Amino acid sequence: MVMTSLLTCSTELYEHQRRAVKKLERIKVGALYMEMGTGKTRTALELIARRYNAGKVDHVLWLCPCSVKETIRREIQKHITGDTSMFTICGIETLSSSIRANVDCLRLVQSKNVYLIVDESNLVKNPKAKRTQNIQRLADHCRYKLILNGTPVSRNEADMFAQWKILDWRILGYRSFWSFSRNHVVWDEKVRGRIKDIVNVDYLTRRIAPYTYQVRKDECLDLPDKTYSSRYFELTYEQKELYSYVAEKLLFELDELQPHTIYRLFAGLQGVTSGFFVGVEKKNIEMEPFFKEPRNNPRIETLLYLLDQTDEKVIIFCKYTQEINDIVKILNEDYGEGSAVPFYGELNTRSRQRNLDRFASDAKFLVANKTTAGYGLNLQFCNTVVFYNNDWDYATRSQAEDRVHRIGQNRKVHIIDICASNTLDERILKCLYRKENMVDSFKAYIDHYKNDKKSLEAWIHGKSLHKQKRS
């Protein structure tokens, strides 16, 4: 094997990163379960450099979410001195659909000694997904492999199978998900395909322990605190009428055992609270702006009042693209052109990176989609985050918060939620703060209150269940 130069890391490791390297440098495959903000990219680069300089590998294929490809590229340039041409970065989502990307990656792993990195490995937890199968095909040609993620499990321990099979099926001891599920999964007899419970977890823990390094932020970093606050507003009379209509319509269609009917209920109600006219007569929910003038939306009014109270840079996380575009337009009108920049999936990679650069320099506001901006971005130069609205996924919420609460942050981080009073918004916040699964919480409630209509209405209006029962 011929190497043109050695890989030299130009930044020092933290103590917890040294411990990770010490544990994993002697084995060919491993998992870095390092909570967001603890520097798992830097740790992975140290392991790569040691393998590369020892002549064990001559190329690195780094698979990551498409939205963070440029961030990874910059992190590599930040920590590695000199030539970085031995790195190839590819989006995980690309491997779901691009034949060319799959062929190019396959040729790479067949022709070189490749160190395979699967970053945010929770994206390949579904063993039936095309991306998972395509990555498994690549992994079969690589001796050295590393998966990176914040935690071992995002939903339940069944998520582990596909990720660890990419490393080596012998670690867990199962070649197929069928054999894995036979020993560990209890299926729900009422709903086909739904997992009721996971058993023999101790076995899984013992099997992965020698190959795993795990650390949380509170164990290794002395970061400033996070503060949480909420700003409430009332829907307009017309919105309240629509909210009640949508609730009645979708509650009538609700099947307590079918998650898609629950999601339909949640999506319809949240559309109303966010400022959309929601049509529920057809199979697919249809949404269009409720207010001809976006400034008349009370949620936007609340946001503008809130932003007037601070001189700091602010990240504003939104759920819908329409909201992002409306808010960017208004903020640029009020604060001057270029004060606000958008960040969402429909923008190409170059545009997203240009907007991030503008936010780091001159722009005051980054208005972003939480799903797109929640992975991999380093925004610790900002310490104020506004959740314009929320969905019910705690994992992506936590990831979004930790874009600013990570290594390099030296100021207290302020997290602010905008919430529509007496609506599903309040229930979402309660579940997020308690780290509860929203759908599971709703199902448990349905079971407890036996589908009583008045109690269901109380739940979707964010009211206390016990108070409603006593009244």
The lowest-confidence range among 29-38, 177-186, 279-288, 392-401 is 392-401
The single-letter DSSP state of residue 67 is: G
The predicted structure's pLDDT at residue 471: 31
Tell me the backbone φ, ψ of residue 9, rounded to 5 degrees.
-85, 130
The CATH class for the domain spanning 226-437 reads alpha beta
The predicted structure's pLDDT at residue 255: 64
The predicted structure's pLDDT at residue 349: 81
Phi-psi region of 336 (alpha: psi -120 to 50; beta: other; left: phi over 0): left
Reported confidence tier of residue 138, pLDDT bands at 50, 70, 90: very high
| Residue % of the chain over a pLDDT of 70 | 90
Q: Which long-range contacts (CB under 8 A, 24 or more apart) does 195-203 make?
A: 195/156, 195/158, 198/156, 198/157, 198/158, 201/157
Q: Name the more confident of 195 and 162.
A: 162
**Per-residue pLDDT tens over the stretch 188-213:** 887 777 888 899 999 999 999 999 99
**What is the mean pLDDT of the segment spanning 330-345?**
94
Q: Name the more confident of 451 and 193.
A: 193
The predicted structure's pLDDT at residue 444: 67
The predicted structure's pLDDT at residue 386: 94
Dist. CA 404–CA 414, nearest whole Å = 10
Query: What single letter denotes the amino acid at residue 409?
Result: Q
Burial label for 225, CB within 10 Å (0-12, 13-18, 19+), is: exposed
* Dihedral Cα 54, 163, 63, 324, nearest 10 deg: -150
**Per-residue pLDDT tens over the stretch 242-251:** 999 988 888 7
Q: Name the more confident of 432 and 360.
A: 360
**Contact, 248 vs 257, CB < 8 A?**
no
Reported confidence tier of residue 448, pLDDT bands at 50, 70, 90: low
Structure tokens that stand for 441 in this block: 């919480």
Query: What single letter denotes the amino acid at residue 180?
Result: F
**Contact, 412 vs 448, CB < 8 A?**
no
- Tell me which fold the domain 14-220 belongs to: Rossmann fold (3.40.50)
The predicted structure's pLDDT at residue 340: 96
**Contact, 232 vs 425, CB < 8 A?**
no
**Per-residue pLDDT tens over the stretch 277-324:** 998 887 788 899 999 999 999 999 999 988 988 888 999 999 999 999
The predicted structure's pLDDT at residue 462: 67
The predicted structure's pLDDT at residue 446: 60
Helix 349-361 with 69-79: angle, nearest 10 deg: 60
**What is the enclosing helix (H) or strand (E) of 185?**
strand 185-187
Residues with Cβ within 8 Å of residue 227, at least 6 apart in sequence = 412, 413, 414, 415
The predicted structure's pLDDT at residue 405: 81
* Dihedral Cα 440, 445, 446, 450, nearest 10 deg: 150
The predicted structure's pLDDT at residue 410: 80
**Per-residue pLDDT tens over the stretch 59-89:** 999 999 887 787 788 889 989 988 899 999 9
Measured over the CA atoms of residue 60, residue 65, residue 70 and residue 71, the dihedral's sign is: negative
**C-alpha 278 chain-centroid distance:** 26
Fold equal for 14-220 and 226-437: yes
Q: Domains of the chain: which residue ranges?
A: 14-220, 226-437
Dist. CA 47–CA 25, nearest whole Å = 6
**Per-residue pLDDT tens over the stretch 94-115:** 999 899 999 999 999 999 999 9
Query: What is the secondary structure of 236-272 as a DSSP string?
Result: PHHHHHHHHHHHHHHHHH--TT-HHHHHHHHHHHHHH
Mean pLDDT of the chain: 87
The predicted structure's pLDDT at residue 249: 85
Reported confidence tier of residue 394, pLDDT bands at 50, 70, 90: confident
**What is the mean pLDDT of the segment spanning 170-187?**
94
The lowest-confidence range among 55-64, 76-85, 370-379, 442-451 is 442-451
The predicted structure's pLDDT at residue 237: 94
Please determine, for residue 142, whether its predicted confidence score (pLDDT) is greater than 60: yes
